[in-house]
Structure 1
Amino acid sequence: MRWNSRINLVAARDTAQIWDRHVLDSLQLHSLLSSRETIIDLGSGGGFPGLILAICGSEDVTLVESDSRKCSFLREAARAAETTVRIVNARIEDVRLAPADVVTARALAALPQLLDWAEPLLLPHGRCLFLKGRKADEELTAARSRWHMMITRTPSRTDPDGVILGLSQIKRVSPLNC
């Protein structure tokens, strides 16, 4: 809460619900992961979901955040929680990382943009876990014009309109097949 007043980690209207709205929402991904999977969390901001997953036992988590002030918060939060994460202070489109098993994101961008960012960061067998709200179907429709993928849906336990989209076998649609 101290950091939030200076660098806006979560919206002011959400501070009274930080546990349910942010922490528990992020924790939903924990049961969909093995502790040995490598994770890249895009737009980590206040550590949701990447830092939460690391605290819960994910062993190889990279947090990508362009705001250096938020990166300072993430370093301090990881230190205080006695957990290890790699923090990359860079714009997502500029980052060059070894591909991971899983790419996560929460409240960052629409699905077509997320896939543009995530695809080069995934191992061939990799998958994405994206926490999405009531516009998930619209975003999937928009993404299908540019991407082929296998989709699993896990209903959110914290938001009646929310869903966790599990995306695998992600391939860009060939311009010749449009």
Structure 2
Amino acid sequence: MIASREADLAAFAALIRKWNPAINLVAPSTLKDLETRHLEDSLQLANLQDEPAGLWLDIGSGGGLPGIVLAICRPDCKISLVDSDRRKVAFLQATIRQLDLKNCTATATRIEDLPPASADNLSARALAPMDRLMPYVARHLAENGTAWLMKGRNWQAELDTARESWNFDVVVHPSMTDSASAILAIRDVHHV
């Protein structure tokens, strides 16, 4: 199973490198560090959520980071990828077919147009500041679900701004790939 997972992650990295010049899935300057900067970063979610169950919704999926990585590492979990860019969704759908990820789907739609998903887990990486993400989290997260927001160096300021309009519980997990970044596990979200 682990060898298969590593082979699938390597195949996914090759697909990103192949498609990136046409679609810009990741910043071209980060391609040389794709495995550490993007794949290992995304792998953190699979390691943090011990027992994912039900639906995992990845919003603003872009190049499939972390959604495709989660689908590879968590074959027992249903992963739904959503992005408004049809070209990126075409890449995601081709990747899902090529890697035979039966637990994963990709949909081209705007997050606000998606019917409430009642997701057990929701993830977003490099999508928007927290205050703009919180309405999506509130709309799509199940009552006892967890949102996993992968935030960069300004995570504390984003967290403070989001708290001005939203009440929620948060656990801060330091990023293993960037000491100034964090993964925020958010639960019990309510508008102030």
Normalising by the smaller structure, the TM-score range is: over 0.9
Residues 26/118 of structure 1: CA separation in 2 closer, same or farther (3 Å cut): same
Which amino acid is the alignment partner of residue 109 of structure 2? A
Q: How does 1:22-41 map to 2 (within 5 A)?
A: 22-33=38-49, 34-41=51-58
- Give the letter aligned to residue 26 of structure 1: S
Q: Deviations over 1:110-158 (max 9, x none)?
A: 0011111121101111111011111011001100111001110111110
Offset from partner CA, 1:2-26 (integer Å, 9 cap, x none): 2101000000101101111111000
**Unmatched 5+ residue regions in structure 1?**
174-178
- State the AA in 2 paired with 1:32: L
Residue 108 of structure 1 aligns with which residue?
127
Distance 1:38 1:11 in 2: 29
Aligned equivalent of 1:71 = 89
- The aligned amino acid for 2:160 is T
Deviation of 1:96 after TM superposition, in Å, equals 1.2
* Partner of residue 132, structure 1: 151
The 2-side partners of 1:73 and 1:53 are apart by: 16
Q: Say whether 1:142 aligns with 2:158.
A: no
5 Å-filtered alignment, 1:94-105, equals 94-105=113-124
- Structure 2: which 5+ runs fail to align? 1-16
Letter in 1 for 2:70: L
In the alignment, structure 1 residue 60 sits paired with structure 2 residue 78:
yes
Deviates further, 2-11 or 26-35: 26-35
Match of 2:32 in 1: 16
Amino acid at match of 1:47: G
**Percent of residue pairs identical:** 38
Runs of 4+ in 1 over 6 A off after TM superposition: none
Q: Indicate the structure with greater helix content.
A: 2
Q: Deviations over 1:63-103 (max 9, x none)?
A: 00111111110011112222131211001111114311111
| Structure 1: distance between partners of 2:160 and 2:63 | 29
> SS where residue 64 of structure 2 aligns?
coil
TM-score normalised to structure 2 length: 0.87
Q: Which amino acid aligns with 2:71?
A: A
Letter in 2 for 1:3: W
Contact 2:54 2:78 in 1 (8 A): yes
CA distance in 1, matches of 2:161, 2:132: 10
Choose from 131, 135, 142 the match for 1:123.
142
Amino acid corresponding to residue 39 of structure 1 in structure 2: W
Aligned to 1:50: 67
